[in-house]
A and B are shown apart, each in its own frame.
Chain A
Amino acid sequence: MEKRVTFGRWTIGILFAVPQLLLIFTFFYWPAGQAVYWSLTLQQPWGGGNIWVGLDNFRSILSNADYWNSITASLVFAATSTGLAMVIALVLAALTDRQLAGSWLYRVVLIWPYGIAAPALAMAFRFILAPEAGFMAVVNKVWPGFWDPGLDGADAMASVIIAFSWKYVGYNFIFFLAAFQAIPRSLIEAAAMDGSGVIRRFRDIQFPLITPTIFFLLVINITESFQDSFGIVDIMTAGGPANATNLMVYKIYSDGFKGLDYSGAAAQSIILMLLIIALTIVQFRFIERRVHYR
Chain B
Amino acid sequence: MTIIKRGLAALAAGALSTALAVPAFAEPVKFDFWFGLSGDLARVVDTLCKNFNASQKDYEVVCTSQGNYDATLQNTIAAFRAGKQPTVVQVYDVGTATMMLSGAYKPADKLMEENGYKIDYSDYFPGIARYYATSKGEMLSFPFNSSTALMYWNKDAFAKIGKTEAPKTWEDVGADLKALKDAGYDCPMAINISANESWQLMEQFSAIHNQPIATKNNGYDGLDARLEVNKTKFVQYVTDLKKWYDAGLIKIKSKDLGQDMVQAFATGTCQLILTSVGDHGTVGRTQKEGMNWDVAELPVYAGTERKNSLVGGASLWVLSGKSDAEYKGAAAFLNFIHDPKTALFWSTNTGYIPVAKSGFDFMKSNGFYDKAPYKGREVAIASLTASEPTEITRGIRLGNFTQIRAEFGTQMQAIFANKVSVQEGLDTLVKNGDAILERFQQTYPGKTLP
Contact = CB atoms under 8 A, between A and B. Distances in A.
Interface of A: 42-48, 51, 53, 60, 64, 66, 126, 130-134, 137, 149-153, 236-243, 254-255, 257-261, 263-264
Given A150-B254, A153-B417, A240-B410, A132 B259 contact: yes
B443 interface: yes
A66 B403 CA distance: 13
Interface string B426-445: 00000010011001001111
A240 B104 contact: no
Interface stretch (B15-23, B28-36, B74-82, B352-360): B74-82
A259 B400 contact: yes
B77 A42 contact: no
Interface in B127-179: none
Given A131-B258, A150-B252, A66 B417 contact: no
Contacts of A48: 101-104
A264 B439 contact: yes
Interface string B247-260: 00000101111110
Nearest to B192: A150
Nearest to A244: B413
Nearest to B418: A151
Contacts of A260: 73, 77, 98, 400
A161 B293 CA distance: 42
B188 to A, nearest CB: 17
A132 B194 contact: no
B410 A242 contact: yes
Given A42-B442, A130-B257, 7 more contacts: A45-B102, A64-B435, A130-B258, A150-B256, A241-B413, A258-B70, A259-B436
Interface residues of B, number: 40
Given A66-B432, A133-B259, A258-B70, A46 B80 contact: yes
A45 B402 contact: no
A132 B439 CA distance: 40
Contacts of B194: 238, 240
21 contacts: A42-B439, A43-B443, A47-B81, A48-B102, A130-B257, A132-B259, A134-B258, A151-B413, A151-B417, A238-B195, A240-B194, A242-B410, A242-B417, A242-B419, A257-B70, A258-B406, A259-B402, A259-B436, A260-B77, A260-B400, A263-B443
B241 interface: no
B66 to A, nearest CB: 13
A42 B443 contact: yes
B275 interface: no
Contact of A152 (B98, B254, B410, B417): B417
A258 B103 contact: no
A53 B439 CA distance: 12
For the complex of A and B, list the 6 residue pairs with the smallest distance between their C-beta atoms, beginning with the closest. A132-B258, A133-B258, A241-B413, A46-B102, A259-B403, A242-B414
A257 B413 contact: no
B74 A257 contact: yes
A240 B409 contact: yes
Contacts of A51: 442, 445
B253 to A, nearest CB: 8
B399 to A, nearest CB: 9
A237 B255 CA distance: 10
A261 B400 contact: yes
A239 B403 CA distance: 13
Contact of A150 (B257, B403, B410, B442): B257
B411 interface: yes
The residue among B81, B258, B400, B417 with the most chain A CB atoms within 10 A of its own CB is B258
B403 A255 contact: yes
Nearest to A151: B417
Contacts of A45: 77, 98, 102
Given A46-B77, A242-B414, A258 B257 contact: no
B74 to A, nearest CB: 5
A252 B255 CA distance: 24
B416 interface: yes
Contacts of A47: 80-81
A53 B252 CA distance: 43
A150 B195 CA distance: 13
Interface string B233-267: 00000000000000000001011111100000000
Contacts of B81: 46-47
B103 A137 contact: no
Contacts of B73: 260
Interface in B87-137: 98, 101-104
A243 B257 contact: no
A46 to B, nearest CB: 4
Contacts of B411: 242
B179 to A, nearest CB: 24
Contacts of B258: 130-134, 137
A152 B101 CA distance: 39
